[in-house]
């Protein structure tokens, strides 16, 4: 019997444990779809996601354990947020978007989106120039969507768009870097989509907590909904400056 396993740090919603060279966790609500997406990546030889290995005797999904550095803490080595790292994140996103475009998994939408791309869901590996992003984890929210959805989420989360984050002008230049590395042709809706994500996120936490969802109650107690609402206000106030470099 595999047993309970050793808890892994960083999970804010789902408890994740390691058993030998595997990760065990409760299956997501859309488990069949997520497992199909991970299976498609494996079929196509894409190394940017864990492998789905089945279900254990406790009903947990079993995923391959990915060695590396998961950037879940606020303080990180400089290379995690370096321009080269941001560019590589965008390239990885483009890779899995292109792999799912036009497939039944996309269900008539542009691509399959991860929908929770963030440093805390990224495994970084050591290179000669520092840590570089290699694998995206936590595909629980994956669903058919539009390319710009994931690109906007990357800009929000990897740049920390909000109070106390980057200077708006510097953030604008780095948003352009992400869009260029991805190859996003139309940036006109980017800020609108970032605001859509932020509004959806804080409202979702509040609604989930009000309905008694334990994970959302914990997030609200930590101040997550307040922080995201403040980030929404910051982006809205600096929208013009943030758009300046996008072209």
CA–CA–CA angle 200, 202, 207 (5° rounding): 90
Q: Do the Cβ atoms of 112 and 101 come closer than 8 Å? A: no
Confidence (pLDDT) at 10: 46
| Shared domain check, 198 and 79 | yes
pLDDT tens, position by position, 39-70: 999 999 999 999 999 999 999 999 999 999 99
CB 63: neighbour CB atoms within 10 A? 22
Looking at the structure of the chain, the number of domains it has is: 2
User: What CA dihedral angle connects 97, 103, 107 and 112, to 10 degrees?
Assistant: -20
| Shared domain check, 170 and 84 | yes
Confidence (pLDDT) at 194: 98
| Shared domain check, 80 and 54 | no
For residue 202, give both structure tokens. 């804080």
What CA–CA distances, in Å, run from 205 to 27, 33, 128, 135, 210?
20, 23, 40, 26, 9
Which domain, by its residues, includes 50? 6-64
CB 204: neighbour CB atoms within 10 A? 15
Q: Could you give the CA distance from residue 219 to residue 206 in angstroms, rounded to a whole number?
A: 9
pLDDT tens, position by position, 208-228: 999 999 989 999 999 999 999
| Shared domain check, 51 and 93 | no
Annotate 154-183 with b (16+ C-beta within 10 A) or e (fewer): bbbbbbbbbeeebebeebbebbbbbbebbe
For residue 175, give both structure tokens. 């948003």
| Shared domain check, 76 and 13 | no
| Shared domain check, 220 and 122 | yes
Is pTM beyond 0.95 here?
no
3-class state of residue 115 by DSSP: coil
Q: What is the DSSP letter of 165?
A: S
Q: What is the DSSP letter of 196?
A: H
pLDDT tens, position by position, 65-104: 999 999 988 889 999 999 999 999 999 999 999 999 999 9
3-class state of residue 125 by DSSP: strand
Q: Could you give the CA distance from residue 93 to residue 150 in angstroms, rounded to a whole number?
A: 8
- pLDDT confidence tier of residue 1, bands split at 50, 70 and 90: very low
On whether residue 234 sits in a domain, the answer given is yes
| Shared domain check, 181 and 60 | no
- Location of structure tokens 């980017």: 190
| Shared domain check, 131 and 210 | yes
On whether residue 195 sits in a domain, the answer given is yes
On whether residue 127 sits in a domain, the answer given is yes
pLDDT of 167 strictly over 80: yes
Confidence (pLDDT) at 7: 53
């Amino acid at each position: 019997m595999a047993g309970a396993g050793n808890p892994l740090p960083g999970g804010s919603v789902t408890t994740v444990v390691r058993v030998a060279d595997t990760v065990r966790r409760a299956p997501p609500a859309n488990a069949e779809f997520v497992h199909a997406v991970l299976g498609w990546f494996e079929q196509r030889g894409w190394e940017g996601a864990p492998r789905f290995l089945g279900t254990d005797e406790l009903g947990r999904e079993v995923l391959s354990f990915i060695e590396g550095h998961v950037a879940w803490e606020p303080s990180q080595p400089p290379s995690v947020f370096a321009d080269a790292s941001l560019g590589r994140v965008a390239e990885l996103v483009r890779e899995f978007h292109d792999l799912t475009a036009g497939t039944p998994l996309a269900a008539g939408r542009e691509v399959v989106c991860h929908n929770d791309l963030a440093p805390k869901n990224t495994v970084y590996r050591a290179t000669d120039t520092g840590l570089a992003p290699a694998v995206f984890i936590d595909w629980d929210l994956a669903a058919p969507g539009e390319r710009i959805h994931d690109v906007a989420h990357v800009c929000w989360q990897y740049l920390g768009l909000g109070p106390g984050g980057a200077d708006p002008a510097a953030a604008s230049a780095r948003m352009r870097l992400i869009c260029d590395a991805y190859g996003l042709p139309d940036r006109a809706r980017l800020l609108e989509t970032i605001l859509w994500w932020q509004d959806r996120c804080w409202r979702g936490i509040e609604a989930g907590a009000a309905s008694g969802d334990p994970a959302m109650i914990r997030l609200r107690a930590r101040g997550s909904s307040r922080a995201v609402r403040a980030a929404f206000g910051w982006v809205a106030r600096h929208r013009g400056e943030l758009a300046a470099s996008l072209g």
